[in-house]
Structure 1
Amino acid sequence: MPTLFIIASLIGGGLLGFVADYSYQNNKRKSEKEKAKKIIQEAEKEKESLLAKAQQEAEKERKELQNNYDQKQKYIQESETKLRDREVTLDKRSAELDQLRQSIENKSNEIEKIKEAIRDLRQKQEDSLERIARMNKEEAEEKLLQLVEKENKETLVKKHVELDHQSDEEIQMIARSKLATVMCRLSSEITGESVIYTVSIPNEEMKGRLIGKEGRNIQAFEKAIGVDLLIDETPDSVVLSCFDPVRREIARVALEKLIQDGRIHPTKIEESIQKAEEEVNIIINKAGEQAAVAAHVPGLPNEILKVLGRLKFRTSYGQNQLEHSIEVANIAGVLASEIGANAVDARKAALLHDIGKSVSEDVPGPHHHISAQIAKRYGLSEEIIHAILAHHDDIEPKTITAWIVRAADSISGSRPGARRGTYEQYVERLRELESIACNVEGVERAFAIQAGREVRVLVMPDVVDDLGIIKLAKQIAKKIEEEMQYPGQIKVNVIRESRAVEYAK
């Protein structure tokens, strides 16, 4: 009996445990289903929210795209309308040009017919005159010229002068149309040529500090940079002297730094010179880049730009060489455009034509030969190299670009105010000009006036007649062109004067 009771109790406890576990698992499954349902509902809500937001953004994007499309469509329609109008205008102009061309051709044909008729008539007249006079054409022309020269000498002289002036005016008119615009808008500053630079100092005590104990500071400065530092009794200033303009500029910057800092000793001097070299190199590089931009010459190698920038500190006859190179490049570009030549090559060759002057102190030879060597070293074209080489008279130009560069260089150097020569060169040129004129037969005296721009020649009236002074003026002008080098042009003014003197007693 107790055993049965125990077994029944065990079976009842197992059933109760199974029911309890089943109820727990059932409640757990219900709770998880509710959580899953809640998560699904939240996901649905988030999906609907994201979908609505995406639809709004899509609608906004669609409206923007539609607006852009409408604007572009409107622009395209306006452009098509303009193009159609231009096509109509061009068709009308083309038709007018065709009519004008046909009219010109017709008139040209008529003119040719008239010329042919005139030639036939002239030939008939010459044949008739030869039969009547029993002289051929050459004999008749010679006799007629002798007769005209003998009987109408004064009229012939006037006519000769008139024809010369007319021919000169026609040539000058063509030249002015090409050069006037260039000449009137280009100019460059005048810079005094000098191998010294004066630096201001705050007081006289600074001179002693610059000299240093037993002169060690000034010796260290001159040895480090190769520039003479001149200290004399001139108040509140010292002088830097050097033929190399770049070294002189480095010395100036270094000296101003030392004066401003106040600590002057050999170590500080070397440090200041090193910093000054870096600053001047930056200035040189920037000057080369700015020159290329100003001359509209892109794509030059950096090494060439560095050499070009050194011209910033170089002058010739008072004209800054970098400004001169930029001016020549701009003139060459305009000239090339006017005559239909290659303006890019002309500008590039003109900008680099004097680049050899920046290294001429270190490299022997004429500066234009050095310039050509630099251009060749950095792979520029043969046409540019030849144009650089031929901008002086020892090399004959063989290309249009070379002639343009030579002409542009002459324009820049010879225009009024561009350059300033030394007094000795000026006097020597005047003497040479007068000597050339006086060595011509029939010349009594000659005077160079207007700073060598004109030579006034007085001839012997009993040796040279009125017709002879025209020939004499041309002869003197030709000799000046062959024997002298000068900027611009020189006017030859020949004067023949007859005087009769009598005394009343």
Structure 2
Amino acid sequence: IQFREEMQQKRAKFHEEFKSKENQIQKSDARLVSREKELRRLENDLKFGENKLKNRNEKFEQKEENLLQKQQKVESIINDQNARLQRIAGISVDEAIKELKKNLEDRVKMEAAQMAIDIKEEAKATAQKEAKEIITYAIENIAYEVTMESTLSTVQLPSERYKGMIIGREGRNIRAFEEITGVKVIVDDTPELIVLSGFDPVRREVARISMENLIKTKNINPNLIEQIVSKATKEVERAIMKAAEDTL
């Protein structure tokens, strides 16, 4: 009777722990869905900022066009002055041009150059400010979502015997895995399931991919762990770069 009661207590404790982990996984899924929605919103914000920068560039190009028109107008005025000086003073066209250049050309060029510099500096300063605001907003929101996200990831096992392979002789495999990835591996009584725990979502994703690939090899050892984690790290880095490029 005592043995039966102990078994019932253990069974009840196991179901309670399993239910707790199931609730944690459900909460984690909900947070991930929420984060995905937030990332889509941030993507829209970034596109909006990109459109604002595009409009700013178009205005800058229009100002440059206006500047070019003003320069052409100044050249036309100079040509008219050439003709007038030639008529009034009876001097040659070359002499008239030299005289006009001496009095007007340097000043006109200096004013035009200064105007171009002012336009470019204004456009650059405005664009940098808007870009900084957009990026800062995105980083703050993503950081908030990462903080709120669960620190747990789960990996399904084909069978219970894989737990022993993951732990390894005298715990060599699990210690090597945790040291290389920086993620804690939790092996408990949950059937055909292990839990990966870590605050860094990138490291945790590398650990999850690595563990799934190790399970496929069916021959887990410290050397193989190092090789597979290295490949998984590069895979995650490429995925992050692609996501960033697609967002921008």
TM-score grouping bracket, smaller chain normalisation: 0.3 to 0.5
Q: 1 or 2 for the larger relative contact order (CA 8 Å, sep ≥6)?
A: 2
TM-score after normalising by structure 1: 0.20
Q: Which has the higher helix share?
A: 2
Bigger Cα Rg = 1
TM-score after normalising by structure 2: 0.40
